[in-house]
């Protein structure tokens, strides 16, 4: 497959899918995380299990849901539960391996803002939807994968509001805040994939997408990113693209 | 067995201005939207609303000027609205009070209320700007739900020493729900995901349930494992077919993408939203008139499930 023939969204969905291992329990939200998890199920991780915060557990979806409460999340599902079971038993009980997150701002340590932009918390310049389950997933999954649009203003040194804790201030600060497990493993962006070094939790560019170079990624990032070891993101295979386009999102609801 | 069946306008008249409420459902699913439109027609004001993940149900009340204060986690509508438009505009112009929690925290708050406990601990919220004392908290004593005036409290577990966040119980005056089936006596059956309806109902003083179908209680009692909310917790039952439209009801009808797009476009400005309310709420003075205004039987038939799933796989959803 010629790499120019696939979109950024397709590259991201494939990169996100590769973060999932077989037999893992995946907490997925609307949009790209659903595409990624469904793709993983149809390729290298056939026995990974999706849970949705609105209540569906392990569905075999035939059509893409437009929100996590959608009836489409119930087709072939193992269980239809509710928020009480999902948040208490599945998430807080420590049973989620990978949680997907998104947000308007992502900072140096993978903290996420999905509450409001601007210095005045009571009168934000832009009011965002709020945490929903995002902060819960960020704190309680074994690891998280963040999906983000890569622009300098979206990658500030520090978020205006910490909705969902990442590595907080780096080092051991996450643990000191009372958060026992988890933390961001990867940020899959429109330009590449960022990961974090041990034990400082300083970010580094693991890969840049085809058609983009590492310096470009640094220019669009509002904090210092170690780009010394960055490689090109492995492009989607013909099989992965075929599954995404023809089986997972033929209606083109999320794929652009 | 009692007969708790009321008409929509009678049930709505129970909800007084200044009341605290919660609304059942989740983003684009199973909200008592017909009941909310009737609250707007009856000019209910100054509501305090507790919510977890709301959609254009709560956004509708906000845009109609019914809401004074919000405590909850998320207000958006999936693909149709990444940020609920009226919510966004009202917050950005300081027209509404709000306090942010997470879904797990709101779940714990409703569950505490339902269990008769004053608070519950959660592992969530720690390390976020939602915790009081952190930069992002807007806690003002006396304005939050807890009698202590405290939004949430960090505490070391007395047994293990682990840090936890304590969140205060929600006890609301009303819970407004929409379910698939109810008996006249108030026994409720929910199909598909429950969302948080059970905890929200049991955390309320008065529960008003609208339903797709009013059924004989004897029929519901043949499969008790499928019933979710006991009649002693339910005070009014209102049969309202298509009562969640434009939102979906599992096994009954899909959400209406056309109308949700129309809603979310209109809700971006005061002027356009006033027109929306005039056309679909005030101008359509009854639920039947509303259903005609959104396309009548022809449109509603397009939303009905088929092919053995609880939604319509043939529904045109993308623009």
The CATH number given to whatever domain includes residue A191 is 3.40.1080.10
- A120/B318: higher pLDDT: A120
Q: Clarify whether residues A51 and A92 are in a common domain.
A: yes
Question: Looking at CA atoms only, how far is residue A4 from chain B in angstroms?
Answer: 25
Q: What is the DSSP letter of A246?
A: I
A contact test, residue of B54, B103, B198 with most A CBs within 10 A: B103
Contact indicator for B181, B228 with CB cutoff of 8 Å: no
| Inter-chain CB proximity B250 and A74 less than 8 Å | yes
**pLDDT at residue A1 above 70?**
no
pLDDT of residue B206: 98
Identify the domain containing residue B43 by its residue range.
1-115+172-319
Q: How far apart are CA B158 and CA B179, in angstroms?
A: 41
Q: Clarify whether residues B190 and B316 are in a common domain.
A: yes
Tokens 């598909």: give the residue: B192
The residue-averaged pLDDT of A97-106 equals 97
pLDDT of residue A256: 82
Q: How far apart are CA B62 and CA B85, in angstroms?
A: 10
pLDDT band at A105 (very low <50, low <70, confident <90, very high): very high
Q: Count up the domains in chain B and report the number.
A: 2
Q: Clarify whether residues B94 and B185 are in a common domain.
A: yes
Say how far residue B87 (Cα) sits from the centre of its chain.
14
Report the mean per-residue pLDDT for chain B.
94
- Name A143's bridge partners: A98
Q: Clarify whether residues B221 and B280 are in a common domain.
A: yes
pLDDT band at B142 (very low <50, low <70, confident <90, very high): very low
pLDDT of residue B148: 54
Query: Which residues 179-218 of A are in CB contact (within 8 Å) with B?
Result: 179-180
Q: Clarify whether residues A125 and A206 are in a common domain.
A: yes
Look up residue B285 and give its two tokens. 């003075």
Q: Clarify whether residues A174 and A225 are in a common domain.
A: yes
pLDDT of residue B136: 47
Interior/surface letters B85-108, b for 16+ CB within 10 angstroms, e for the rest: bbbbbbbbeeebbbbbbbbbbbbb
Q: Clarify whether residues B143 and B1 are in a common domain.
A: no
Annotation says A53 is catalytic: yes
Residues written for chain A: 256
Q: Among residues of chain A, what percentage have pLDDT more than 70?
A: 98
How does pLDDT run across B113-131, given as a tens digit for each residue? 999 999 999 999 999 999 9
pLDDT of residue B42: 98
Look up residue A218 and give its two tokens. 């640094």
* Chain B environment of A81 (Cβ under 8 Å): 193-194
Sign of CA dihedral A225, A230, A232, A234: negative
Query: Which residues 8-27 of B are in CB contact (within 8 Å) with A?
Result: 25-27
pLDDT band at A216 (very low <50, low <70, confident <90, very high): very high
Nearest CA in chain B to A167: B127
Query: Which one of A19, A24, A53, A220 is the catalytic residue?
Result: A53
Q: Clarify whether residues A131 and A205 are in a common domain.
A: yes
CA distance readout (Å), A86 to A95, A109, B25, B91: 10, 27, 15, 30
Q: Clarify whether residues B156 and B274 are in a common domain.
A: no
* Side-chain half-sphere CA neighbours of A167 within 13 A: 24
Q: Clarify whether residues B188 and B304 are in a common domain.
A: yes
CA distance readout (Å), A63 to A75, B117, B256, B270: 9, 41, 16, 35
Phi-psi region of B127 (alpha: psi -120 to 50; beta: other; left: phi over 0): left
**pLDDT at residue A225 above 80?**
yes
pLDDT of residue A181: 79
Q: Clarify whether residues B177 and B258 are in a common domain.
A: yes
Q: How far apart are CA B259 and CA A64, in angstroms?
A: 19
Q: Clarify whether residues B156 and B181 are in a common domain.
A: no
- Name B49's bridge partners: B21, B70
Q: Count up the domains in chain A and report the number.
A: 2
- Give CA torsion, residues A136, A140, A144, A148, to 10 deg: 10
Q: Clarify whether residues B230 and B191 are in a common domain.
A: yes
Q: Clarify whether residues A161 and A39 are in a common domain.
A: no
Q: Clarify whether residues A92 and A67 are in a common domain.
A: yes
Among A69-73, A178-182, A201-205, B15-19, name the one with the lowest average pLDDT. A178-182
- A156/A180: higher pLDDT: A156
Q: Clarify whether residues A183 and A214 are in a common domain.
A: yes
CATH number where B23 lies:
3.40.1080.10
Nearest CA in chain A to B319: A253
Q: Clarify whether residues B139 and B67 are in a common domain.
A: no
Q: Clarify whether residues A221 and A105 are in a common domain.
A: yes
Q: What is the DSSP letter of B307?
A: T
Q: Clarify whether residues A106 and A193 are in a common domain.
A: yes
pLDDT band at A167 (very low <50, low <70, confident <90, very high): very high
The residue-averaged pLDDT of A62-71 equals 92
Look up residue B284 and give its two tokens. 């359509």
Look up residue A198 and give its two tokens. 């041990």
Q: How far apart are CA A161 and CA A145, in angstroms?
A: 19
pLDDT band at B134 (very low <50, low <70, confident <90, very high): low
- Give CA torsion, residues A60, B52, A189, A3, to 10 deg: 30
Q: Clarify whether residues A128 and A225 are in a common domain.
A: yes
Q: Clarify whether residues B159 and B181 are in a common domain.
A: no
Give every CB contact of residue A36 below 8 A, 6+ residues apart in sequence.
Answer: A13, A14, A16, A17, A19, A20, A28, A100
CA proximity to A248, closest of A31, A11, A16, A28: A31
Q: How far apart are CA A169 and CA A167, in angstroms?
A: 6
**pLDDT at residue A3 above 50?**
no
| Inter-chain CB proximity B124 and A123 less than 8 Å | no
How does pLDDT run across B20-65, given as a tens digit for each residue? 999 999 999 999 999 999 999 999 999 999 999 999 999 999 999 9
Identify the domain containing residue A169 by its residue range.
100-233
Q: What is the DSSP letter of B137?
A: -
Q: Clarify whether residues A187 and A223 are in a common domain.
A: yes
**pLDDT at residue B143 above 50?**
no
pLDDT of residue B29: 97
Give every CB contact of residue B82 below 8 A, 6+ residues apart in sequence.
Answer: A129, B76
CA proximity to A29, closest of B106, B74, B256, B32: B74
How does pLDDT run across B265-306, given as a tens digit for each residue? 999 999 999 999 999 999 999 999 999 999 999 999 999 999
Q: Clarify whether residues A109 and A215 are in a common domain.
A: yes
């Amino acid at each position: 497959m010629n790499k120019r023939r696939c979109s950024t969204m397709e590259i991201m969905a494939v990169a996100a899918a590769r973060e999932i291992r077989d037999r893992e329990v995946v907490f997925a939200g609307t949009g790209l995380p659903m595409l990624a998890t469904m793709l993983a199920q149809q390729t290298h991780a056939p026995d990974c299990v999706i849970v949705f915060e609105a209540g569906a557990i392990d569905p075999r979806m035939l059509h893409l849901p437009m929100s996590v409460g959608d009836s489409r999340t119930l087709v072939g599902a193992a269980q239809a539960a509710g928020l009480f079971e999902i948040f208490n038993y599945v998430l807080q009980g420590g049973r989620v391996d990978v949680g997907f997150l998104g947000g308007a701002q992502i900072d140096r340590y993978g903290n996420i803002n999905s509450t409001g932009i601007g210095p005045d918390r009571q009168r934000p310049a832009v009011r965002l939807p709020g945490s929903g389950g995002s902060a819960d997933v960020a704190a309680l999954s074994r690891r998280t994968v963040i999906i983000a649009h890569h622009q300098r203003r979206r990658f500030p040194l520090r978020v205006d509001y910490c909705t969902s804790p990442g590595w907080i201030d780096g080092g051991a600060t996450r643990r000191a805040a009372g958060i026992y497990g988890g933390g961001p493993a990867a940020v899959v962006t429109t330009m590449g994939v960022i990961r974090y070094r041990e034990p400082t939790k300083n970010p580094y560019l693991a890969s840049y997408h085809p058609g983009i170079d590492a310096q470009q990624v640094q220019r669009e990032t509002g904090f210092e990113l170690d780009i010394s070891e960055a490689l090109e993101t492995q492009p989607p295979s013909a099989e992965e693209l075929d599954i995404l386009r023809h089986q997972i999102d033929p209606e083109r609801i999320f794929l652009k | 067995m009692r007969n708790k069946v009321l008409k929509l306008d009678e049930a709505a008249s129970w909800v007084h201005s200044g009341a605290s409420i919660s609304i059942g459902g989740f983003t684009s699913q199973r909200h008592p939207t017909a009941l909310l439109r009737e609250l707007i027609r009856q000019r209910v004001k100054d509501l305090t609303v507790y919510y977890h993940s709301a959609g254009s149900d709560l956004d509708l009340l906000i845009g109609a000027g019914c809401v004074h204060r919000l405590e909850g986690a998320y207000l958006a509508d999936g693909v149709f609205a990444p940020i609920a438009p009226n919510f966004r505009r009202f917050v950005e112009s300081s027209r509404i009070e709000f306090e942010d929690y997470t879904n797990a925290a709101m779940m714990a708050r409703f569950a505490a209320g339902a269990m008769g406990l004053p608070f519950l601990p959660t592992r969530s919220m720690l390390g976020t700007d939602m915790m009081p004392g952190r930069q992002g908290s807007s806690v003002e004593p006396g304005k939050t739900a807890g009698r202590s005036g405290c939004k949430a409290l960090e505490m070391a577990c007395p047994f293990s020493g682990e840090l936890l966040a304590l969140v205060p119980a929600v006890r609301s005056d009303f819970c407004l729900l929409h379910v698939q089936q109810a008996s006249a006596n108030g026994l409720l059956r929910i199909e598909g995901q429950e969302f948080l309806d059970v905890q929200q109902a049991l955390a309320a003083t008065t529960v008003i349930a609208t339903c797709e179908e009013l059924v004989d209680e004897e029929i519901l009692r043949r499969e008790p494992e499928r019933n979710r909310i006991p009649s002693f917790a339910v005070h009014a039952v209102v049969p309202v077919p298509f009562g969640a439209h434009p939102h979906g009801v599992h096994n009954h009808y899909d959400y209406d993408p056309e109308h949700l797009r129309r809603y979310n476009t209109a809700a971006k400005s005061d002027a356009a939203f006033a027109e929306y309310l005039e056309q679909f709420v005030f101008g359509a003075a009854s639920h039947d008139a509303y259903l005609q205004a959104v396309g009548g039987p022809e449109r509603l038939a397009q939303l009905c499930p088929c092919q053995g799933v609880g939604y319509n796989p043939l529904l045109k959803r993308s623009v």
